[in-house]
Each structure stands twice: as C-alpha cells, then as structure tokens.
Structure 1
Amino acid sequence: MPAVSAASLSPSFALTLAFALALVAGFLLKAWLVSRQVRHVARHRQEVPAAFAAHIPLEAHQKAADYTVAKARFGLLEMALGTAVLLGWTLLGGLDLLNQALLGWLGGGMAQQLALLAAFALVNGLIDLPATLYQTFVLEQRFGFNQMTLRLWLADLAKSTLLGALIGLPIAAAILWLMGAAGALWWFWAWALWMGFNLLLMVVYPTFIAPLFNKFQPLEDESLKARVTALMQRCGFAAKGLFVMDGSRRSAHANAYFTGFGAAKRVVFYDTLLKQLTPGEVEAVLAHELGHFHHRHILKRMAGMFALSLAGFALLGWLSAQPWFYTGLGVRPSLALLVADVPAAPNDALALLLFLLGVPVFTVFLAPLFAQLSRRHEFEADAYAMQQASGADLASALLKLYEDNASTLTPDPVYVKFHYSHPPATERLARMPTPAHP
C-alpha cells in the first residue's frame, strides 16, 4: 500500500470516528425505541382500549400484543446481528479481505468488480438466511400467518436469486462502466440510467416479474367489479385490469395495492382480503388507495426519490475520488488510480459498496421526518376515501385488518414517530365515523 501523508490520515480518522459513533448511536437509539415499544404494548395487553372494546375481542387484542412483542424482540436480535456484520464488513476489514482475495484471483477489471458485488450479495444473503427461515417458519407460523411450504420458499429463493443476477449484474456493469469511462460527470449519467431502469421496472414488473411468484386472476365477482369500476370512474382513474392474487399461498395477511406505471397500472386484491371484507369495505379500501393518486402522493414520492438519488450519486461521485473515504471505512483502495493517471485496479465497485453500507448509518436519524410525511399522506388518503365511499365501511375494514393482521392497537407513541409509516389505529379511526357493531 503506498505511503499516506499525515494530512490524508486526518480525514480518514475523522470518518472512522464519525462512522463508529453514528453506528453505535443509531443502534442504541433503535434498541431504546424497541424496548419502549415492548414495554408499552405488554403493559396494555390485558385490556382492549375503550374505543375498540365493542369491536375487538380481548383474545385478538392479546394475540396482537404478543405478535408485536415477538416481532420487536426478534427485530432487535436482527438489528444487533446487522450492526455486527456491518462493522465486520467495514472497520474490521471484511470487505477489504474479500476485495484483495478477488484481486489476487481475477486481477483488476470489470470481471473482478462484478465478482466483488456478487460475492458481497451472496455472503450477505447467506448470513441473513437463518433469520429469514426463523421469521417465516417459526415466528409467522406460531401466530398462524405462514402458509408457505419449504418447497415454495426454496422455489422463491431460487427465482429471486436468478432474477437478481439477470437484472442486477447488467445494470451494475453499466454503472461501473460509466464510472470508469464517462469522466467527471459519470455520476449524472449513472443517475439517469438508474432512474430510467426504475421507471422501466415499474412498467414490466406487473406483467413479467410478479407472475413468476404469484397467480393473478381477473376479478370474477361481477357485482364487486361493477362497484369498483364505478368508483374508479368517479375518481377519474383508469387501470389496465382488476386482478386477484393468491396471497394465501404464502401468508394469511391481507392487502390490496396498485402496481405498474402509466398505461400498465393495475389493481390487485389479495384473495385473503376479499374473503375478510364486505364489498362496501373493499370499495372503501380501494378508495383510500385512489386517494394517494388523487393527491399525487406517488408522483411526489417519485420526485423526492429522484432528487435524493441525484444528491446521492453526486456525493458518491465526490467521495469515490477521496482516498480517505476508503481508508476511513477499513478498505485499502488502489491509490495510484486516485492520484495519477496510472493503470491500476479500479475502485468503483468498492465505492458503490462502501456508499451503500455507510449512508444508512448517517441517515437513520432522518427516519422521523419520512415517517411523519408518510402518515400525513395516509390521513389525506383516508379523507379522500370518505368523500368517495362510506367512512363507516372504511373504519370497519381497517378494524378487521388490524385484527386479522394482529396489528397492535396500543403502540408506543415515540416508537410510532420513528417507525410508523401509517398512523396508529387510535389516531386514524378517531377521524372516521363509528362502524356498525359487529
């Protein structure tokens, strides 16, 4: 490794210190929030809140509390493991060791860079595998939500891995090529490529990718179809089709969503949702989703994603040329390439990985801002739904979904501010008409 001056050591050490402090502070903050959530939910386990006593049985309330606590405790273990793995990849030298091994085997070049990205993804996937299996076949199974067989799980894993390679490696190769060949503004062209890829994915996903994992059948209930079609016409929304997805093959959780972009938009109902809700409740849930389109929440979020990703690529463009960015995060870069026009192994894949590993550590404290914005959008969509459909049906549907999905009615208020993208039940239903007594 070439000698590094004292001046260059200072920013490297500063980055190491800042990264370590942010990593520890972020972990302690999230652990504190989880502990608050667990204590708050457990403390309110024995009694259904008065506002829900007529609609939610105590047994269902206790199941939701137990499910929430179990998920939170398991999430804390996952978070501790993730923090240790992140530290191992960076300051403890794991990524540097992997990079040096691949350099010794493949030499510098595109093949080595793609191998580094693929090997990193593979190792991370193997590390996450036990937690994923436990969550699916132990935690979700214990509370009656898992419907997936091991065979189906393995098939999903094989498909997603193959798709990740077929889609991810070419886009990664294109970005790496731009980093090395497009000059000082490579980050702008890489950003444009990434945004174009995401827009294309929104178009092709509903038609070509999603059917690889689930079956989508046209909605056959003519009465419900007429009701939903009339709602969309009132709201000025056009979709390519109404589909029912076999979500029950994997989980008992229920949902409905819009997917696609432009002319490829389609409405998808989980089969579990149609079994649980009345036609009026289904209409109200769909009206809520249409509220997001009416208020242009999707476009606003896309615009925000475009702006943030542009800033991110610009920051990456600057950091990738700074030796201290690599050394400060535990990696030995090819410094000759950074300081002179000398052929050497490129650092582009290293820069991508370090950026993806480092940025979440420093941005975790922004979570409340994004969560608050999302909750505001949900309130706006609820208000729109109550203009286009029955507010009582919307409230009734939400109560059923809270119960069937074992969502706690008593989350910790501070935890909510950091982590809830949807308002808690007490706040959300307080703005709606009282549903009919079951």
Structure 2
Amino acid sequence: MHDTLAAAHPLTLLFAFALVASLTLKLWLAGRQVRHVARHRAAVPAAFAETVSLAQHQKAADYTVAKLRLGLLATAFSSAVLLGWTLLGGLDALNGLLRETVQPLLGDLGYQLALLAAFALIGGLLDLPFDLYSTFRVEQRFGFNRMTVRLWLADAAKGLLLALLLGGPLAAAVLWIMGSTGGLWWLWAWCAWTGFQLLMLVLYPTVIAPLFNRFQPLPDESLKARVQALMQRCGFAAKGLFVMDGSRRSGHANAYFTGLGAAKRVVFFDTLLNRLTPDEVEAVLAHELGHFKHRHVQKRMVVIFGFSLAALALLGWLSAQPWFYAALGVAPNLDAPNDALALLMFGLVLPVFSTFVTPLASRSSRRHEFQADAFACAQADGRDLARALLKLHEDNAGTLTPDPLYARFYYSHPPAAERLAALPRPA
C-alpha cells in the first residue's frame, strides 16, 4: 500500500520530474562547457594574446575539462543516490533498522541522532571516491595538490571530530525544539540555527581555522603599512593581518576577510604573496574591501537567513503531513518521532528544486564582483588589479573561454574577458 501511495501521489511525480529535469539541465550545461572549452583550446583569445601564453591557456582548458568530466560522473551518481534514498526506499530501510535496534536502547532522541549520524556517515563514504580522485588525481595532475595522504587523513579526522562536537549539539537542540515547542517549532529552530551561524563567524577564524592551517602575522612591514593605510582610507578595522600556509594543501592562491565584529581579520594565502607584487596585493585587498563597503556580506546573510526561515516554515507544515513521507518513499513512524526523518527528507529534496534558482544567485554575485572591482579602481590602481587577476587566472588555471550560457548559470564571478574589459588595460 505504501509503494502504491508513493507512486500515485502528485508530490512523487513532481519530485521525479524535478530530479530528471535538474539532472538533464546540469548534464547539458556541463556538456556545453566541455565542448566550448575544448573547441577554443588551440588558440589564446585575442584579448589575452599578449599576456597569456598558449601553454598556460591549454593547461587551463585541460584542467577545466578534467574537472567537468569528473563533475559529470559525480552529478549522475549523486542523482542515483538521491533516488535510492527516496523513491527506492533507502532512507526508509535505514530508518526502520535504527528504529528497531537503537530506539529501545537510547530512546527517541538517541535514535533520531543516530539516524542523522548514520545518514551523514553513509553519504560521506559514498562521496569519498570522488573527493580522493579530485585531490590525488585531477589536482595532482595539474600541479595544484600539495596534500599528502597523511595530511588528508588528519583533515578528515579533524572534520569528523568538529562535526560531532559542533553538529551534534546543534542537531540535538533542533530535535528538542521540534518535539517540545509546538506548531511554531520552525521559528525557534530558525533562531537556534541563525545564532549558531553567527557564533561560527566568531569562532571560525580564531578557533576552527587554526586547527587546519597555520596563521602568522604578516611579516612584511612595508606591505603591512600599505594595507593598514588602505583599510584606514576605507573605514575598515580588522583584528589582524595574517598569512595562511595555503601552500601546504594547494597551489591555488587567494585572500579573504573572515570573522564578525571584533573578530574580523584579513588573511592572505602564502601562495598569493609569493605571486603578486605589493601593488597588486593592495589592489586585490581593495577589491575585498569593496565587498565590505557595499555591505555585500551582510546582504547575502540577510538573503540566506530569509531563505532558511521560509524553508523551515515550509518544513513545519510538510512535516505534519503523512503524505509528505509516503510520497517520497518513506513510511512515517507510528511509535517514534518523525522529526529527524523530516529534516533528512527535506534536506534531500530541497536542492533538487533550488537548482532552478541558481542563475539568480549567480547573477547577483557577479554584480557584486563588478561593484567591488569598481571600488578597487577608486582606491588603488585598476591596472594593478587587472595584472593581479591575470596572474590569479593563470595560477588557478581558470579557463578564458567558458561557454556563455554555462557561465551565466553557474559563475559567481564574471568571466575573465568581461571582468578585465571593465578594468584599465594593464601595461
């Protein structure tokens, strides 16, 4: 009867249609990107002919194609796994097993936490081959990987420990809220989740990040003086300027702001400082300060918090509907809470539908990048920013010839040609 209901309910058909449509769209866009990049591999675009060598251009093309091909396999596999968890009964079977074995021993809360943990562990194991192949084959092949197996295992162990120490209490708190605060549980759960996210913004730079990387005060006094003068002009205060040993794990370069309030800090990858001149570092930092000046981070946080509130409100209604479970291949519990089950099902289904709003988020992000670039040109030399971006594209092997439609759908940063066209031409 359960299978018949799942096959007949409109939500089953809607989910199946959305899953097939999102998978088809992702594969089609990735295929376009592969073909477009491969088709333009033989020649450097005219706009970059004087600044990018053919060898660099071809390396970027090959790197892009290699990542996309692995991504195609990962996307198809994850869609199959999602189908297995839902309509093919995988989550239902896992839930039944733990309900029979764990609930009598650990009670309702223990059983629900075990369900969340088992699901996360199985999901991590299923994703493991792709992560390993990406790190030790694709990144290694193109000279970006600096990680050893020992370091990878240490990072994995630390990540698992953090998940238990931080995620476990959060999950327990949300489950308690769902079972104890009535019909408006979703509002209180949102408050708990939002508070946790804000707490992580404070704890991450000072407690969590140092578990994985070494952070040292910026040693170059002249560069430090330039950076501090720039931040003072822009009205930005940070707790410190730090250099991170990004080269321990990767050859990619970056710089970023992190933290909240008094915990804000500026972090430079050592690979970035080794590659760019002081003028170019200042221009890159000016770009990051542009995000601060335009309040891009705060705006994104408001959007994320608003979306999460709407999502939890929807889950608050769906979790009380028996058909929500049955239509997605899961029999709701009759003698145990359904809260963990509802969280998992919603977490599985929501990304399928959110695929179709990806272009909106990408467009907003690209607009923010143009605004930050314009701010950087007002605070530093735009030609330095252009030179820095060219070097970063080279170091990160970013393709100069993306498929326009793929870029519009996915790119959070403007394609290199569009971005550099808006900047003064480097000498």
TM-score normalised by length of structure 1: 0.95
Within the alignment, does 1:283 sit opposite 2:282 as a pair?
A: yes
Quick check: 2:6–2:328 contact (8 Å CA) kept in 1? no
Question: Which of 344, 359, 362 pairs up with 1:371?
Answer: 362
Within the alignment, does 1:394 sit opposite 2:390 as a pair?
A: no
Paired with 1:381 and 1:69, the residues of 2 have a C-alpha distance of 29
Q: What do the CA deviations read for 1:325-365 (whole angstroms, capped 9, x no partner)?
A: 1011110002x5xxxxxxx2000000000000000111111
Paired with 1:11 and 1:417, the residues of 2 have a C-alpha distance of 36
Q: 1:133 is aligned with what amino acid?
A: L
Paired with 1:59 and 1:236, the residues of 2 have a C-alpha distance of 42
Matched residue, 2:246: 247
Provide the secondary structure at the position in 2 that maps to 1:109: helix
Within the alignment, does 1:145 sit opposite 2:144 as a pair?
A: yes
Quick check: 1:292–1:298 contact (8 Å CA) kept in 2? yes
| CA deviation after TM superposition for structure 1 residue 44, in Å | 0.5
Matched residue, 1:339: none
Matched residue, 1:346: 337
Matched residue, 1:29: 25
Within the alignment, does 1:383 sit opposite 2:370 as a pair?
A: no
Paired with 1:33 and 1:151, the residues of 2 have a C-alpha distance of 36
Q: Which structure 2 residue ranges, 5 or more long, are not aligned?
A: none
1:22-421 → structure 2 map (5 Å cutoff): 22-107=18-103, 109-334=108-333, 336=334, 344-421=335-412
Provide the secondary structure at the position in 1 that maps to 2:9: helix
Quick check: 1:283–1:389 contact (8 Å CA) kept in 2? yes
Within the alignment, does 1:18 sit opposite 2:14 as a pair?
A: yes
Paired with 2:8 and 2:199, the residues of 1 have a C-alpha distance of 39
Provide the secondary structure at the position in 1 that maps to 2:268: strand
Q: What do the CA deviations read for 1:29-58 (whole angstroms, capped 9, x no partner)?
A: 000000100010001101111111110000
Provide the secondary structure at the position in 2 that maps to 1:170: helix
Paired with 1:12 and 1:121, the residues of 2 have a C-alpha distance of 29
Q: 2:421 is aligned with what amino acid?
A: A
| CA deviation after TM superposition for structure 1 residue 208, in Å | 0.5
Question: Which of 407, 419, 426 pairs up with 1:428?
Answer: 419
Distance 1:260 1:164, change over 3 A: same
Q: What is the CA RMSD across the aligned residues, in angstroms? A: 1.2
Q: What do the CA deviations read for 1:139-160 (whole angstroms, capped 9, x no partner)?
A: 0000000000000000000000
Quick check: 1:37–1:415 contact (8 Å CA) kept in 2? yes
Provide the secondary structure at the position in 2 that maps to 1:331: coil
Quick check: 2:6–2:87 contact (8 Å CA) kept in 1? no
Paired with 1:41 and 1:356, the residues of 2 have a C-alpha distance of 34
Paired with 2:144 and 2:41, the residues of 1 have a C-alpha distance of 20
| CA deviation after TM superposition for structure 1 residue 13, in Å | 1.3
| CA deviation after TM superposition for structure 1 residue 10, in Å | 8.7
Paired with 2:29 and 2:10, the residues of 1 have a C-alpha distance of 28
Q: Which structure 1 residue ranges, 5 or more long, are not aligned?
A: 337-343
Provide the secondary structure at the position in 1 that maps to 2:362: helix
Q: Give aligned pairs, total.
A: 423
Paired with 1:224 and 1:14, the residues of 2 have a C-alpha distance of 62
Q: What do the CA deviations read for 1:405-435 (whole angstroms, capped 9, x no partner)?
A: 1000000000001110000001000011111
Paired with 1:106 and 1:57, the residues of 2 have a C-alpha distance of 61
Distance 1:66 1:10, change over 3 A: closer
Quick check: 1:47–1:58 contact (8 Å CA) kept in 2? yes
Q: 2:244 is aligned with what amino acid?
A: M
Give runs of ≥4 in structure 1 deviating > 3 Å. 9-12
Paired with 1:149 and 1:298, the residues of 2 have a C-alpha distance of 34
Quick check: 1:11–1:324 contact (8 Å CA) kept in 2? no
Sequence identity percentage: 70
